[in-house]
Structure 1
Amino acid sequence: MTSTLMHDTRDSFGVFHRHDELDTAHHEAVIFFRDERTGLRAIVGVHDTTLGPALGGTRFFPYPSESAALTDVLRLSQGMTFKAAAAGMPLGGGKAVIIGDPSTAKTPELLRAYGRFLNRLGGSYITAADVGTTSEDLDLVGEATPYVVGRGREAGGSGDSGFATAYGVHRAMVAAATLVWGREGLNGRTVGVEGVGKVGFHLVGLLLEEGARVVVSDPSGLALSRVRSTYDSVTVAGSVIDGDLDVYAPCALGATLTPASVAGLQARLVCGAANNQLSTSDVDSMLFERQIVWVPDYVANGGGLIQVGSELVDADEDAVREKIRRIGDTVTQVLTTSRSEQVTTGVAAHHLVRERVSARSGATSR
């Protein structure tokens, strides 16, 4: 079992010297881990621990290269810093990725080896579930380390955070829709949900309760079958981003908002659960110029973080739900700032995050 910090000199996208927007992200630590016996290859990124220990999910995904996995963990861990600050949580930003296809590479032995690796970090990074991992997986990781949240209730955790994330996105979307369309909000609006997995599925139900018309897309036939059998009023489409929508809700993988997709976007509001929705930061300005309201992903999708992070302070369910509900208040603050100061929503959200991190940094230095 080995742990190393590596840099491939053949690759222009290394850890500390890059040729993309992550060059100025200033991560505190990036740790690579490999276990030959189980086939585990993992990367942990700790972005910023000003507000508290780094917390973020573990993504298990068949990346085409180590470089792609590294880029993802750097982007995601930075996003977790923003998410924790926007949610008002005393946590820093971190993320982990395991390279491989979870349907074939994931084994109990690999997950326990991963847990042993995390344990060596001494709590500087605390993990939860993400794409490709479940609360059941975390139960196995938790056999080797206490630095895990989101385990099953039988194991002492708060369980899967999919509904909590969906509820936060729902509150964010309602708040944004109220600013865009007035008191009717989402009632009668067409919402395209891209990805109906463990978050998107719950979001569909909440939107239907709100009186919205829902169109969904997902490459997984099983996911679509589950939605169809549960919500017979939902329309299934091959793609939603280019459809006739009022709201586009990306709830799958990130980077779907590109210059090309934004140019053809018909929705007036974008709000979803996916992380890193913008392919590049300048897409924020493109959305603003087209008068499309984008709720920054790390503001909208903080519900899951609030749920699992609250395990660390033993918050009860009512307190957790109320904190998630207040995501809507934060969205209202961000969008109001965007309008009054004529800045993009991304700029307004970053200003809020910087204020909260700087306030904590100043208090600590005194």
Structure 2
Amino acid sequence: MNANTEAQNLSITPRLFDLDGEPAHEKILFVSDPVTSLRAIIAVHNTTRGPAFGGCRMWQYENDGQALQDALRLSHGMSLKNAMADLPYGGGKAVIIRNDRQLNRKEMFQAFGRAVQSLGGQYITGEDVGTTVDDMLAIQSVSPYASGIPRAGQFGGNPSPKTALGVYAAIGRATSLIFGATSLDGVSVAVQGLGAVGWDLCERLHAAGCKLIVADIDASRVEAATKIFGATAADVSDIVTQQVDVFAPCALGAVLDAPTIARMECKLVAGAANNQLATTDDAERLHLRGIHYLPDYVVNAGGIISCVREYEGGVDDASVDQEVVRIADRTASLIEEARSLARSIASVAYEQALRKIGWTV
């Protein structure tokens, strides 16, 4: 390899420690277990507020660089999310690179749990896309640093309903402040993704009288939503640009980029998906188009609130719900401050998060 070729290869290598323009991650652990074919990345972004707390995602990535970028973006988002939810934890996230050789799922997650244990409590994991309660139980069998688990006689388990509750509360308050809506009855919402959170959100929105348009890669889920909620089906490629009051992204991230934003016809974006923006500049693009974007790390914090309170113990379902619905108050405060400063909601939220973490604004 000559010097020029080496330089070219370096130029396309993904950033290993940070996201462009953001503080570097504190620790990144690459995990490989030949027995179970586990390949995982644990990214500890920041522990200023406390141990890094964030879920474990299992996904089939196109390449290792894509998996690393996902881990970096997700863990960075968890620092912001935990700070804005006033939780005494920093941000971290793990991704497991799914492959066809992973035949014994329980043993693989136990291997992952041993990697979590090796960090000595610097990172606490939980459920995310592609992982389940049973996976968390497998981790817990080898490490106490796991959440999203049913606890006998106590609060705990799948956090998806709490994520949906927080998003629902945020949408309700935002439509009141932005549209002057007295209720959600008649508000049109396009929901992208009908997984655990998206489906639960649809149930809540339907009960409140919303007109739903839905899309998912699983056609059976879409068909069920049309029957149960009276929803209108949309193609996955068209759901983002529906003419609706609210667009609720509840699938994977990076769905809002410059070309898409130019074609959007909603008034408000509020959903459960992490990292909805392709780049940080996309928040301002939405703002300039008059589309109110509620940062995902503010409105989808119900799941991490649930996991944290379960992990700490001593709470019940009702008290966790009360804490989750306060996301609506946080949303209102951000909308009002952004309005008073004639700035985007996203920029105001980001500066608040930085102050809570202790970074310079």
Q: Same fold (TM over 0.5)?
A: yes
Shift of 1:22: 3.2
Report if aligned partners of 1:192, 1:248 keep a CA contact under 8 Å in 2: yes
CA distance in 2 between counterparts of 1:155 and 1:27 reads 38
Q: In the alignment, is residue 78 of structure 1 matched against residue 76 of structure 2?
A: yes
| 2:341 corresponding residue in structure 1 | 341
Structure 1 residues 105, 236: CA separation in 2 closer, same or farther (over 3 Å shift)? Answer: farther
Q: In terms of mean alpha carbon deviation, does 286-295 or 98-107 score higher?
A: 98-107
Structure 1 residues 101, 39: CA separation in 2 closer, same or farther (over 3 Å shift)? Answer: closer
CA distance in 2 between counterparts of 1:156 and 1:22 reads 42
Secondary structure at 1:322 match in 2? helix
Q: In the alignment, is residue 265 of structure 1 matched against residue 264 of structure 2?
A: yes
Structure 1 residues 10, 111: CA separation in 2 closer, same or farther (over 3 Å shift)? Answer: farther
CA distance in 2 between counterparts of 1:322 and 1:301 reads 15
Report if aligned partners of 2:203, 2:229 keep a CA contact under 8 Å in 1: no
- Show the 5 A alignment for 1:55-74: 55-74=53-72
In structure 1, runs of 5+ residues without a counterpart are 1-7, 362-366
Per-residue CA deviation, residues 236-269 of structure 1 (Å, 9 max, x unaligned), is: 1113111121110000001111111111110000
Per-residue CA deviation, residues 87-125 of structure 1 (Å, 9 max, x unaligned), is: 111111000000014896561111111111111111100
Secondary structure at 2:259 match in 1? helix
CA distance in 2 between counterparts of 1:60 and 1:168 reads 24
| 1:176 corresponding residue in structure 2 | 174
Q: In terms of mean alpha carbon deviation, does 168-177 or 145-154 score higher?
A: 145-154
CA distance in 2 between counterparts of 1:157 and 1:75 reads 30
CA distance in 2 between counterparts of 1:343 and 1:175 reads 19
CA distance in 2 between counterparts of 1:203 and 1:118 reads 31
Structure 1 residues 232, 174: CA separation in 2 closer, same or farther (over 3 Å shift)? Answer: closer
**Superposition RMSD on alpha carbons, in Å?**
2.1
Shift of 1:227: 2.9
Q: In the alignment, is residue 242 of structure 1 matched against residue 241 of structure 2?
A: yes
| 2:5 corresponding residue in structure 1 | none
| 1:12 corresponding residue in structure 2 | 13
CA distance in 2 between counterparts of 1:101 and 1:90 reads 35
Secondary structure at 1:81 match in 2? helix
Report if aligned partners of 1:42, 1:99 keep a CA contact under 8 Å in 2: yes
1:95 corresponds to which of 75, 80, 93: 93
Per-residue CA deviation, residues 36-89 of structure 1 (Å, 9 max, x unaligned), is: 111000000011111111111100000111110000000000000000011111
Structure 1 residues 157, 145: CA separation in 2 closer, same or farther (over 3 Å shift)? Answer: farther
Report if aligned partners of 1:11, 1:67 keep a CA contact under 8 Å in 2: no
| 1:306 corresponding residue in structure 2 | 305
Q: In terms of mean alpha carbon deviation, does 250-259 or 217-226 score higher?
A: 217-226
* Letter of the structure 1 residue corresponding to residue 321 of structure 2: R
Shift of 1:189: 1.4
Report if aligned partners of 1:60, 1:102 keep a CA contact under 8 Å in 2: no
Q: In the alignment, is residue 233 of structure 1 matched against residue 223 of structure 2?
A: no
CA distance in 1 between counterparts of 2:184 and 2:162 reads 20
* Letter of the structure 2 residue corresponding to residue 15 of structure 1: L
| 1:124 corresponding residue in structure 2 | 122
How many residues align? The count is 349
Structure 1 residues 307, 111: CA separation in 2 closer, same or farther (over 3 Å shift)? Answer: same
| 1:148 corresponding residue in structure 2 | 146
CA distance in 1 between counterparts of 2:344 and 2:100 reads 37
Structure 1 residues 25, 222: CA separation in 2 closer, same or farther (over 3 Å shift)? Answer: farther
In structure 2, runs of 5+ residues without a counterpart are 1-8
* Normalised TM-score (structure 1): 0.90
Secondary structure at 2:334 match in 1? helix
- Aligned residues: percent identity? 37
Secondary structure at 2:318 match in 1? helix
CA distance in 1 between counterparts of 2:45 and 2:210 reads 38
CA distance in 2 between counterparts of 1:221 and 1:261 reads 23
- Show the 5 A alignment for 1:98-117: 98-101=96-99, 107-117=105-115
* Letter of the structure 1 residue corresponding to residue 354 of structure 2: R
* Letter of the structure 1 residue corresponding to residue 281 of structure 2: D
Secondary structure at 1:22 match in 2? coil
| 1:54 corresponding residue in structure 2 | 52
Per-residue CA deviation, residues 163-193 of structure 1 (Å, 9 max, x unaligned), is: 1000000011111111111142432111000
Secondary structure at 1:145 match in 2? coil
Report if aligned partners of 1:193, 1:200 keep a CA contact under 8 Å in 2: yes
| 2:3 corresponding residue in structure 1 | none
| 2:35 corresponding residue in structure 1 | 37
Shift of 1:10: 7.8
Q: In the alignment, is residue 331 of structure 1 matched against residue 331 of structure 2?
A: yes
Q: In terms of mean alpha carbon deviation, does 191-200 or 135-144 score higher?
A: 135-144
Report if aligned partners of 2:284, 2:344 keep a CA contact under 8 Å in 1: yes
Q: In the alignment, is residue 217 of structure 1 matched against residue 218 of structure 2?
A: no
* Letter of the structure 2 residue corresponding to residue 84 of structure 1: N
Per-residue CA deviation, residues 265-301 of structure 1 (Å, 9 max, x unaligned), is: 1000000000001101111111111111000000000
Structure 1 residues 284, 105: CA separation in 2 closer, same or farther (over 3 Å shift)? Answer: farther
CA distance in 2 between counterparts of 1:44 and 1:184 reads 44
| 2:294 corresponding residue in structure 1 | 295
CA distance in 1 between counterparts of 2:139 and 2:225 reads 30
